[in-house]
Structure 1
Amino acid sequence: MARPPRFDIDQLLDAAVRLAATGGPPAVTMSAVAHAVGAPSGSMYHRFTGRPALLAEVWLRTVERFQAGYHAVLAGESDPHRAARAAARHVVGWSRGNPDEAALLLYGAADFGRDDWSEEHTRRADLGNERVYASLTALAETLGATDARGRDRVALALVDLPLSLVRRYLRAGEPLPPHAEDLTEECAVALLT
């Protein structure tokens, strides 16, 4: 009977997230992740075909976790105005609860080597992005924002603005202030009315 692996994928990806949060994508190497968890470097290659696969998995796991919560918030509200406010708050609240992952998401997929990802990894990323755009478009339509300017306003209110607030504090190495969710919601409401 084979011995169970000592280090599972989530442990390795958790270490990769911590490395990315403190040193950016260049800090996420096969040997750095192995060293961070005390694993032999060879064990990394049993789980990832190489650094591009590692970078893809750490990016995708993080963004998919964020997107799952974002979609749940959007789907959980029948009133589009409440859904919009909740979505804006979610960006900040999720970032507060997951500061390392939020720091990672301040980069983009390109910073995590998207050009070198496998077709499967690229497809996962594209599907997630399409789902977000579809959700935002549907919400925009229910809010009466049916032209390009209106859709841009919804994206600004529910994505760009909350992320800019998160970015300012995380890049400065400071915790998000207690009023961050309220401020983000107020600004989203102002943009959408």
Structure 2
Amino acid sequence: MARPPRYHEAQLLDTALRLAATAGPTAVTMSAIARAGGVPNGSLYHRFPHRSALLAQLWLRTVEHFQQGYLTALHSDPDPLRGGAAAARHVVAWCRDHPQEAAVLLHGPQAFGRDEWPAESVRRAEEGNRRTLDALAELAGRAGAITEADLDRAVLALVELPLAVVRRHLRTGGPLPPHAEDLAERCATDLLGRLG
């Protein structure tokens, strides 16, 4: 009977997450993870054959966790303005509750070596992005979006502005202000109300 693994993938990714959040994506090396996690190199390479596979998995785990909650918020109300407001609030609230993960997402996939990811990881990332953008476009359509400019306004309202609310604070290590969710919601509702 095989021995159960001593080092689980989630533990290794948690170590990589801490390194990325505190020192940036370039700090996430195989040797740094092994040192920080007290993991033998062989165990690390058994789970991840190379650094790009580990970086891809770290990104995917983080972004899929975010997208799952974001899509739930986006579909939380049949009224597109209320659903959009919930999605904008979710961006800020999720970043408040998951500052390390938010720091990873703010770097973007290219900083995590997206051009060198395994093909399956690229496919997963593209599927998740497509699913999220399709849901956002559907909500924007229900809110009155007709043109490409309308869709751009919806992306600004539901993604870019909420991220702008948190970016400055997360980059400086300061706490998000208590009114951050309200600010994101008000901006989203105002812009979505002007579609069409």
The CA distance in 1 between the partners of 2:86 and 2:57, in whole Å, is 28
Are 2:36 and 1:36 equivalent residues in the alignment?
A: yes
| 1:111-166 Cα shifts (integer Å, max 9, x gaps) | 11011011101000100110111011101100001211110111001000000111
Q: Which moved more, 1:92-101 or 1:5-14?
A: 5-14
Cross-structure match for 1:3: 3
Shift of 1:4: 1.0
Amino acid in the other structure paired with 2:9 = I
Shift of 1:169: 0.3
Cross-structure match for 1:127: 127
Residues 77 and 83 in structure 2, CA contact (< 8 A), matched pair in contact too: yes
The CA distance in 1 between the partners of 2:80 and 2:157, in whole Å, is 13
Shift of 1:33: 1.2
Cross-structure match for 1:57: 57
| 1:50-96 Cα shifts (integer Å, max 9, x gaps) | 00000000001000000010011112221111100000000000000
Tell me, what secondary structure is at the counterpart of 2:107?
Answer: coil
- How many residues are aligned here? 193
The CA distance in 1 between the partners of 2:84 and 2:123, in whole Å, is 28
Are 2:84 and 1:95 equivalent residues in the alignment?
A: no
| 1:85-111 Cα shifts (integer Å, max 9, x gaps) | 000000000000000000010011111
Amino acid in the other structure paired with 1:76 = S
Runs of 4+, deviation exceeding 6 Å? none
The CA distance in 2 between the partners of 1:90 and 1:103, in whole Å, is 16
Are 2:84 and 1:84 equivalent residues in the alignment?
A: yes
The CA distance in 1 between the partners of 2:140 and 2:57, in whole Å, is 31
Which 5+ residue runs of structure 2 have no aligned equivalent?
none
Residues 140 and 192 in structure 2, CA contact (< 8 A), matched pair in contact too: no
Amino acid in the other structure paired with 1:164 = A
